[in-house]
């Protein structure tokens, strides 16, 4: 199954804070470094870099996505679910339905084990 997440994006413009000594663009939710370039918001991580720090390296967003299978299917679905729940209007009904179905699977399993 393939789910496309529509992530809010914003591009950090350093000239915004050029004259402000207290300018603080905030930090990336993955690496903790200052935001720069195009940032995408993935709940629950927050704003993360979409551009690799150096050529040939992974962006923070790519690193998170690549790591999802390793954190386990239900944890990964929880990430997707939190994101879709926060921005439901950005996702198709079929995406939302698939996410809900996946999120409910652990509950079904518990019920089956309980013999109901």
Applying CB under 5 A, which residues contact Zn ion?
28, 30-31, 49, 60
Collapsing DSSP to helix, strand or coil, 54 comes out as coil
Torsion sign, CA atoms 79, 33, 16, 57: negative
Cβ of residue 31: shortest distance to Zn ion, in angstroms? 3
Cβ of residue 43: shortest distance to Zn ion, in angstroms? 16
Query: How would you classify the pairing of strands 38-42 and 46-49?
Result: antiparallel
Cβ of residue 67: shortest distance to Zn ion, in angstroms? 13
Rank residues 67 and 101 by Cβ distance to Zn ion and give the closer one. Answer: 67
Rank residues 60 and 99 by Cβ distance to Zn ion and give the closer one. Answer: 60
Cβ of residue 30: shortest distance to Zn ion, in angstroms? 5
Comparing every residue's Cβ against Zn ion, the nearest one is: 28
Residue 72 has which token pair?
């386990």
Rank residues 47 and 77 by Cβ distance to Zn ion and give the closer one. Answer: 47
Would you say 99 and 84 are in contact if contact means Cβ atoms under 8 Å apart?
yes
Rank residues 30 and 98 by Cβ distance to Zn ion and give the closer one. Answer: 30
Q: 53-90 burial, b for 16+ CB within 10 Å, e for fewer?
A: eeeeeebbbbebbeeeeeeeeeebbbbbbebbeeeeee
């Amino acid at each position: 199954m393939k789910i496309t997440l529509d992530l809010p994006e914003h591009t950090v413009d350093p000239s915004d804070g050029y004259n402000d000594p207290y300018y603080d663009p905030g930090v990336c939710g993955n690496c903790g470094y200052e935001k720069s370039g195009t940032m995408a918001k993935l709940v629950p991580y927050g704003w993360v870099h979409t551009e690799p720090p150096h050529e040939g390296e992974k962006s923070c967003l790519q690193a998170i996505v690549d790591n999802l299978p390793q954190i386990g299917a239900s944890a990964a679905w929880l990430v997707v679910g939190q994101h879709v729940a926060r921005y439901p209007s950005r996702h198709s009904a079929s995406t939302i339905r698939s996410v809900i179905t996946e999120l409910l699977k652990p509950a079904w399993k518990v019920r089956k084990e309980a013999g109901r």
